């Protein structure tokens, strides 16, 4: 296992690699979260693209380093975009974010089918994870093992497991839940991390730690969600190794 300080350093390394290599992350995501997701990726150093047009999504995914599949605003065009994107993704890492599947049985079924297509990471909240596992109510590590993926169940504390290794990331701030698209943007940051770190579990821990620490830094000066939404972008843009070491709560 990794010691907490080691994981903070890995988060700093992953951020440094994103800034240096500027990975391209293609995002199939809902229109509510598109702008915020793109701005989080740009602040981290990655290059977002977001088309879902069937004619060209293959070319975009083919030129990308990682892919995000977010199921929010789940229309038919997006559904077919997912198929085309996964066909083009080949061995590139992709992250599944099954937004709001607890509200929509059809969306939940689509998410279950997608888990079988081999995402590197599934990032979701507790209600979404319950909807994904359904009546079986598997714990995250069993689910990760069974489906050979990394599972990140985010909330007040984030649990990240690949079935063998499990940690809790206790960083973040309650204001993060008052900004629309924050979770979606977090999943996109996981995809950017997975583009520069082949160990998807480490990439996920790094991205969620970085975003949580950035949230804490932002909350020091922004006490309400309007300004907080901008300041967490700035905190992520400026995040350094010393701050990650001082603040990371990964255990």
- Summarize as ranges the residues that interact with a second copy (CB under 8 A): 30-36, 38-39, 42-43, 48-53, 55-56, 59-60, 63, 72-77, 100, 103-107, 177-181, 223-227, 229-235, 237-238
Nearer to a second copy, 83 or 226 (CB): 226
Q: Nearest distance from residue 44's CB to a second copy, in Å?
A: 10
Whole-Å CA distances, 101 to 10, 92, 174: 32, 25, 22
Nearest to residue 153, comparing CAs of 140, 164, 137? 140
What is the per-residue burial (b if ≥16 Cβ within 10 Å, else e) of 34-44?
bebbbbbbebb
Could you give the residue ranges of the DSSP H alpha helices within the chain? 4-21, 34-44, 57-62, 76-89, 105-115, 126-133, 140-147, 182-196, 200-221, 225-238, 241-247
CA atoms within 13 A on the CB side of 212: 27
Residue number with CB closer to a second copy (149 or 154):
154
- Identify whether the C-beta of residue 199 lies closer than 8 Å to the C-beta of residue 189: no
Q: Which is nearer to a second copy, 74 or 201 (CB)?
A: 74
Instruction: Tell me whether residue 75 or residue 113 sits nearer to a second copy (CB atom).
Output: 75
Which DSSP state fits 75? -
Residue 70: CB minimum distance to a second copy, A: 12
Cβ proximity to a second copy, 35 vs 164, nearer residue:
35
Q: Residue 109 Cβ, how far from a second copy at the closest point, in Å? A: 11
d(CA 224, CA 42): 23
Alpha helices in 54-199 (DSSP H): 57-62, 76-89, 105-115, 126-133, 140-147, 182-196
**Pick 96 or 250: Cβ nearer a second copy:** 96
State in angstroms the smallest separation of the CB of 41 from a second copy.
8
The least CB distance from residue 52 to a second copy, in Å, is 7
Name the minimum Å distance from CB 25 to a second copy: 12
């Amino acid at each position: 296992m990794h010691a907490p300080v080691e994981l903070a350093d890995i988060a700093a390394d992953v951020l440094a690699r994103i800034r240096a290599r500027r990975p391209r992350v293609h995002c199939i995501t809902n229109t509510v979260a598109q702008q915020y997701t793109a701005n989080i990726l740009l602040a981290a150093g990655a290059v977002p693209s977001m088309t879902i047009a069937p004619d060209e999504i293959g070319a975009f995914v083919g030129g990308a380093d990682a892919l995000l599949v977010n199921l929010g605003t789940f229309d038919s065009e997006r559904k077919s975009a997912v198929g085309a994107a996964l066909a083009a993704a080949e061995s590139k890492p992709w992250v599944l974010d099954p937004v709001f599947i607890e509200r929509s049985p059809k969306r939940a079924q689509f998410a279950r089918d997608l888990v079988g297509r081999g995402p590197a990471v599934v990032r979701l909240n507790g209600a979404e994870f319950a909807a994904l596992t359904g009546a079986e109510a598997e714990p995250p590590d069993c689910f990760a093992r069974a489906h050979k993926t990394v599972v990140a169940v985010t909330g007040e504390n984030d649990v990240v497991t690949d079935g063998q290794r499990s940690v809790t990331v206790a960083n973040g701030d309650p204001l993060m839940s008052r900004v629309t698209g924050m979770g979606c943007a977090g999943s996109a940051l996981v995809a950017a991390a997975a583009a520069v770190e082949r160990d998807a579990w480490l990439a996920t821990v790094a991205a969620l730690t970085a975003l949580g620490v950035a949230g804490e830094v932002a909350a020091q000066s922004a006490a309400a969600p309007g300004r907080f939404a901008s300041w967490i972008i700035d905190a992520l843009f400026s995040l350094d190794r010393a701050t990650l070491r001082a603040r990371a709560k990964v255990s």
